[in-house]
Structure 1
Amino acid sequence: MSTEKQEEWLASPLGQYLQEQEQALFDRVVHDIFGFHAMQFGMLGMPLLRHCRIPFQFNADVDHGVIQCASHQLPIQADSLDLLLLPHALDFSEHPHQTLREAARVLVAEGHIVITGFNPVSTWGLRRLANDTDDYPWDANFLSLMRVKDWLTLLDFEIIELKMACHMPPLRNSSGQGRLSAIERLGSRFWPLMGGVYFVLAKKRVIGMRLIKPAWNKSKLKAGLLPTPTQRTDIQKKHE
């Protein structure tokens, strides 16, 4: 995938529309996730960590960013990230399943992953089928949400939130975008699963791990803290 092609498309009206939709989704969820280390892989033109309160943040991509690597070969220590953003990383990965395996490896227990991808069951998917060239982004994998959910489940992730965005058809020019803006509102209400982009928030679970809570024994508390009534003696009765 060419960085120049990506930047050119993101600057187009359709690319700006996608950025607006996805930025709002990322801004909302990253604000409430805590930890020490957060990373965004791909789509570095979008500041998806801008509202994140995790102190140490960095980015990575195939040919630019703080770290330059493939998404399925992260040079990062295992169990070191609290938050990992993968905006369309699966769409352009040569090995998308392995990309998720790497995500599971580098995330700490209870760490979060946020994924966006192009939905094949949408007008965007139809546009991809009708596109006879290798133009960006129609050369993406367009993995189904069901497949991504299955992969996450196999890797012991718990799905926290699923959403769809970009219900408006991907027009080739911007002349009809304004007139079709109502489709976005209608689509999110009446055909929510037909959005051009899916958004997934998931948490890494570890088998056998559970939170240890204090095992308070109510009877012991009562016996140790509350005075127990006693019978009155004959001396006490005389003074009544």
Structure 2
Amino acid sequence: MTHGHLRLTDLSFRFAGQTQALFSIQNFELAPGQTLGIRGASGAGKTTLLHCLGGIEPVTAGQICWGDTDISQLPAGELTRWRQQRLGLVFQDFHLVEGLSALDNVLLPASFATWKAPADLRVRARRLLDRVGIREPARRAELLSRGERQRVAVARALLFEPPVVLADEPTASLDPENRAIISELLCELVREHAATLIVVSHETSLLARMDQQMELRGGALQEIVATHPDNSTIEGKPHV
């Protein structure tokens, strides 16, 4: 089965000491190469769900299968290798290291994985930076604008050509012009690489670019099947 195929079965998460689950999803599937946008109120559990899907946060119960791999059952070492080889992450706050160049920030994942030749990675990293519009790869991170930093973060997420890309509010801290640029770049690049993309965002223009939109509400994923010009929605069957 393709690595970018997602299947959730009887998934639930609750914080330690809590009796009520933050979210509970009985069955959900996302085809490889598809893009999914998830919205929801603050505190609904969107970021936690994204972290669970990326193996960053352990689930309380259930299965998270990417392809034939149930990441909820992987030992720590295997889970780390899966993330290195299969997952690209884009965060709201960029997570760049000041003092390092844009190029070295893109290459940071290579310091945790040695299965690909460094020379090949450097060539690929330079190409990715050029693709996202960074013309000075030697420029240090602290000298970049916020929009440029997020472009570097998008390039870094795609360094190993992962089949899965997860983005948590990737445009939230940007001005309107850079929100549009990053939204377009992110969607274009994941489609060029046939990756599966899941985005958590409040930004309606970014969510509108997704193949599918859902809302996390009351612990369940609710499909948004249509959007009206006034931004009201018609809701479909919940994935409870």
In the superposition, the TM-score normalised over structure 1's length comes to 0.31
More strand by share: 2
Where relative contact order (Cα < 8 A, 6+ residues apart) is larger, the structure is 2
Say which one has the larger Rg.
1
In the superposition, the TM-score normalised over structure 2's length comes to 0.31
